């Protein structure tokens, strides 16, 4: 049986993927970040200039530094900055319309992401524990926090991996059925990664027409339509998701294709894993992934790990230090690689489990702490 702590359940819900990093680009340099779905939302109702205050008090940020705001829906551009002293900072913003933004410390550490809406948002937590960071105080952010706290309070210690996924999906669909077709519903649709995209597309059609006409809504619909083709099959669907081949250089500079790993008769299941050394969530997941690999590699489990590191030296050094012996290749980019679209990625880490006998995708977004349990169901 699987024991899942409250913290782990929150991670598993978010992305529903908390613990799943996305990348930000500033001056063409990739910046890492932990995507915390409890603060991910966007509203599109235009309004006259209104005040949005962000008050931060984050432990673990000693001394002086700078906190930056990046507007996720306007090219990830830095729109404001302020000095932080021992983790205390404040923004006084005039916003024309509500938007989704990231907070970064010294343009390197993502502190939190949130909906910028009228009111005061209190950001707190410990920078050493990404899951402790939160933003509350405005209607939309409070609403999101309330839902994630509800899920975190569920006792799932006696459930299997598949049962937990079913609970996540059912709970999210129940939440989607409430209220109006507003921005909160769009937030849920765009961030519920344990709900089959075909079901999310149905919910998308219930959004207000004005909301559906926005650029972000169009992007969300396009993403979900691509996701259907590479998401584990849902009962009643005639779409059989199969892997799409790729080829990247390994540590020796040799091009290694995904198909060559899947076609290896020694392998029964291959985990396609998109990651990077700059991704905090990826690094945090690695010990659990490594433990699962060591336990099940001899039974037919292999990993094809695609690094998004722009600097090969960091990638090579990390692999050597951590003694990662699976198939390691490097793409050196994120959104620019073809797989960002073909595999409907929206952040890293993203992993996809493939049945080598059929080439069919049988699972996606398996949290590291659940990987060993999932493999046990398949290989023990």
Name the β-bridge partners of 298: none
Phi, psi of 45 (to 5 degrees): -70, 115
Sheet holding 88-97, edge to edge: 109-116, 99-105, 64-71, 77-85, 88-97, 46-59, 119-126, 129-136
Residue 245 pLDDT class (50, 70, 90 cuts)? very high
Q: Please give the Cα distance from 93 to 284 (Å, whole number).
A: 33
Asked if pLDDT for residue 229 goes beyond 60, the answer is: yes
Per-residue model confidence as pLDDT tens digits over 346-368 = 888 999 999 999 999 999 989 88
Give the pLDDT score at 236: 65
* Extents of the domains making up the chain: 1-228, 247-379
CATH of domain 247-379: 3.40.30.10
Give the pLDDT score at 290: 97
Give the pLDDT score at 30: 32
What's the token pair of residue 292?
């699962």
Where is 376: in which H helix or E strand? helix 368-379
Residue 12 pLDDT class (50, 70, 90 cuts)? very low
- Match 């590479």 to its residue by tokens: 230
Give the pLDDT score at 48: 54
For helices 197-204 and 161-176, angle between their N-to-C axes, nearest 10 degrees: 0
Q: pTM of the entire structure?
A: 0.69
Name the β-bridge partners of 129: 126
Per-residue model confidence as pLDDT tens digits over 144-185 = 778 877 877 777 777 877 788 888 888 889 888 887 777 788
Per-residue model confidence as pLDDT tens digits over 71-105 = 876 667 899 999 999 999 999 999 887 777 889 89
As a whole number, mean pLDDT of residues 333-344 equals 88
Name the β-bridge partners of 255: 249
Residues 6+ apart with CB under 8 A from 277: 283, 307, 309, 314, 315, 318
Per-residue model confidence as pLDDT tens digits over 272-312 = 999 999 888 899 899 999 999 999 999 999 999 999 998 89
> Is the separation of the CB atoms in 101 and 140 below 8 Å?
no
Give the pLDDT score at 11: 40
């Amino acid at each position: 049986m699987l024991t899942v702590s409250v913290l782990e359940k929150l991670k598993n819900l978010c992305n529903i993927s908390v613990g799943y990093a996305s990348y930000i680009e500033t001056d063409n340099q990739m910046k890492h970040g932990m995507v915390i779905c409890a603060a991910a939302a966007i509203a599109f109702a235009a309004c006259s200039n209104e005040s949005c205050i962000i008050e931060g008090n984050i432990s673990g940020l000693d001394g002086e530094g700078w906190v930056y705001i990046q507007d996720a829906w306007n090219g990830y551009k830095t729109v404001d900055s302020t000095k932080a002293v021992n983790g205390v900072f404040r923004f006084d913003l005039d916003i024309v319309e509500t938007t989704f933004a990231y907070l970064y410390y010294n343009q390197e550490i993502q502190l939190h992401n949130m909906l910028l809406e009228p009111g005061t948002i209190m950001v707190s937590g410990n920078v050493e524990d990404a899951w402790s960071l939160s933003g509350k105080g405005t209607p939309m952010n409070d609403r999101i926090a309330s839902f994630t706290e509800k899920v975190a309070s569920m006792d799932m210690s006696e459930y299997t991996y598949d049962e937990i996924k079913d609970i996540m999906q059912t709970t999210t669909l129940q939440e989607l059925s409430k209220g109006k077709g507003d921005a909160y519903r769009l937030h849920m649709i765009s961030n519920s990664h344990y709900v089959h995209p075909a079901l999310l597309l149905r919910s998308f059609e219930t959004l207000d027409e004005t909301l559906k006409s926005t650029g972000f809504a169009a992007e969300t619909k396009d993403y979900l339509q691509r996701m259907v083709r590479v998401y584990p099959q849902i009962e009643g669907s005639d779409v059989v998701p199969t892997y799409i081949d790729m080829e990247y250089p390994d540590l020796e500079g040799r091009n290694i294709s995904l198909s060559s790993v899947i076609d290896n008769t020694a392998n029964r299941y291959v985990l396609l894993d998109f990651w990077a050394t700059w991704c905090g969530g990826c690094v945090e997941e690695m010990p659990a992934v490594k433990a699962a690999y060591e336990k099940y590699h001899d039974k037919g489990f292999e990993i094809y790990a695609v690094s998004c590191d722009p600097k090969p030296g960091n990638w090579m050094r990390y692999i050597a230090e951590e003694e990662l012996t699976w198939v390691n290749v490097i793409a050196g980019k994120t959104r620019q690689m073809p797989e960002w679209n073909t595999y409907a990625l929206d952040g890293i880490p993203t992993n996809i489990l493939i049945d080598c006998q059929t080439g069919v995708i049988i699972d996606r977004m398996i949290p590291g702490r659940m990987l060993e349990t999932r493999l046990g169901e398949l290989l023990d």
